[in-house]
Amino acid sequence: MDVLKKVPVREQDAKVRATNFEEVCLGYNKEEAMEEAARCINCKNAQCVKGCPVSINIPGFIEKVKEGEIEEAYQIISESSALPAVCGRVCPQESQCEGKCIRGIKGEPISIGKLERFVADWASENGIKPQGAKEKKGKKVAVIGSGPAGLTCAGDLAKLGYDVTIFEALHEAGGVLVYGIPEFRLPKTKVVAKEIENVKSLGVKIETNVVVGKSVKIDELMEEEGFDAVFIGSGAGLPKFMGIPGEQANGVFSANEYLTRSNLMKAFDENSTTPIMRGKKVAVVGGGNVAMDAARTALRLGAEVHIVYRRSEEELPARVEEVHHAKEEGIIFDLLTNPVEILADEKGWVNGIKCIKMELGEPDASGRRRPVEVPGSEFIIEVDTVIMSLGTSPNPLISSTTEGLEVNKWKCIVADEEFGKTTKEGVYAGGDAVTGAATVILAMGAGRAGARGIDEYLSNK
């Protein structure tokens, strides 16, 4: 064994998986996990913990894996994370825990994400549940949204003994874990549903089909339904479009629509009653994780897929692993390319996307080199489907119906980082609703902060 290298993780073959929706990464078994765990040098001043938004005791749980005590490892992770099976799969470990790992200086860092995933899956298979509260506080908290921020906040508060109800707008709990991230990256029944069951086993109630702001307002929850505090984790659900000519043509979708149809509504399954456009040649505009998810979904539905991104490979905001997987599966990357118009036939159906070549100029406000158009370099890619994956912004349904809740110019709810405290008493917020579109783990970190804030508020009330 080479201690400088990660124990390789088994994956579905790229050619095979390009045609199915089964999970790409197969994960470690116990032997592999113990072997990988043995590479950890158990640093006293562990840098990996500092890289984790929810500060999991990483060396602590890895030590238990090394000893083969997986249940103990699980309870250590559970102290800090309500969704380890999810995080082990979708966290950008390379820029967080693994990015700080001392092993990574000379060789490859410890495969912390894969170890976390193994521990969580093992616990799920062996029926191990997180430990709930011993004493009840007798106070009610409403959590709005059942995505990563809401589930984490609800789980933490329930462990502290609060009576927590989550309100979810859609018909199924999970938020972006259910409607956004595809099955092949995050299995819904095997992983997401089980994590949600774990949160429920702590005593958390989930009421679906409640659009807060429409079905009920925050003030009503507090004044009429007796909730002592509220956490808003409603995410960033509004899709952006480019505003270029032809965007209203038939065959142009937001990534949100395309992914929601496939993931939440199961349209990838021929037996689903929800339709999805199965294009032959698809352009996905954008370079983030959502763009990769949309592209790889379209590929699995039988299309030739192009990622159209205006900067270069170096600037792709997607996780390295997602880009790598997408390439392996045969996604074509048209980089330094920006759409200027979507073309349609006489009946209004998309038949092409007109793009212009870009080159990188001086760095812009984000520190990345600004892409500039190359004059006269327009060209057409023939496609029948265009998926816009340009990011999302927070939904104003809650902020516009709640008096005293301040938002900034991007319509993000104003809340402090440490406790998620908003401008309205008793109301806390976190996740994409506050930051704009970010990652699952950052939302979880914010959910955790919100739970701390609410606990402090209600303890002193």
Write out the residues near other proteins by the rule CB under 8 A: 169-171, 179, 208-211, 214-216, 237-239, 241, 243, 247-248, 250-251, 253-254, 256-257, 260-261, 265-266, 271-277, 347-348, 395, 397
The C-alpha atoms of residue 208 and residue 87 are separated, in whole angstroms, by: 24
Q: In terms of CB distance, is 286 or 453 closer to other proteins?
A: 286
Token pair, residue 278, equals: 């199965």
- Minimum distance from residue 345 beta carbon to other proteins (Å): 11
Residue 105, helix vs strand vs coil: helix
Measured CA to CA, the distance from residue 68 to residue 73 in angstroms comes to 9
* 202 vs 218 by CB, closer to other proteins: 218
Between CA 253 and CA 217 the distance in angstroms is 31
Spatial separation of the C-alpha atoms in residues 229 and 131, rounded to whole Å: 23
| Least distance (Å) between residue 144 CB and other proteins | 12
- What is the closest distance, in whole angstroms, from the C-beta atom of residue 382 to other proteins in the complex? 19
Pairing between strand 385-388 and 252-254? parallel
Which residue lies nearer to other proteins by CB, 236 or 451? 236
Q: Which two tokens stand for residue 110?
A: 């410890």
Residue 438 beta carbon to other proteins: minimum distance, rounded to whole angstroms? 17
Give min distance, CB of 250 to other proteins, in A.
5
With a CB cutoff of 8 Å and minimum separation 6, the contacts of 446 are: 149, 233, 417, 420, 430, 431, 434, 435
Q: How far is CA 175 from CA 208, 225, 324, 344, 454, in A?
A: 11, 24, 26, 34, 22
> Residue 259: in which H helix or E strand, if any?
helix 255-263
Minimum CB separation of residue 443 from other proteins in Å reads: 16
Nearer to other proteins, 257 or 341 (CB): 257
Integer Cα distance of 446 and 440 in angstroms: 10
Amino acid at 173: A
Minimum CB separation of residue 276 from other proteins in Å reads 8
For residue 320, give the nearest of 366, 287, 298 by alpha carbon. Answer: 287
Question: Minimum Å distance from CB 178 to other proteins?
Answer: 12
3-state class percentages of the chain: helix first, strand second, coil last, to nearest 5? 35, 20, 45
| Backbone φ and ψ of 441, nearest 5° | -70, -35
Of 220 and 378, which CB lies nearer to other proteins in the complex structure?
Answer: 220
CB of 428 to other proteins, least distance (A): 22
Of 235, 237, 80, whose CA–CA distance to 152 is shortest?
Answer: 80
* 330 versus 348: smaller Cβ distance to other proteins: 348
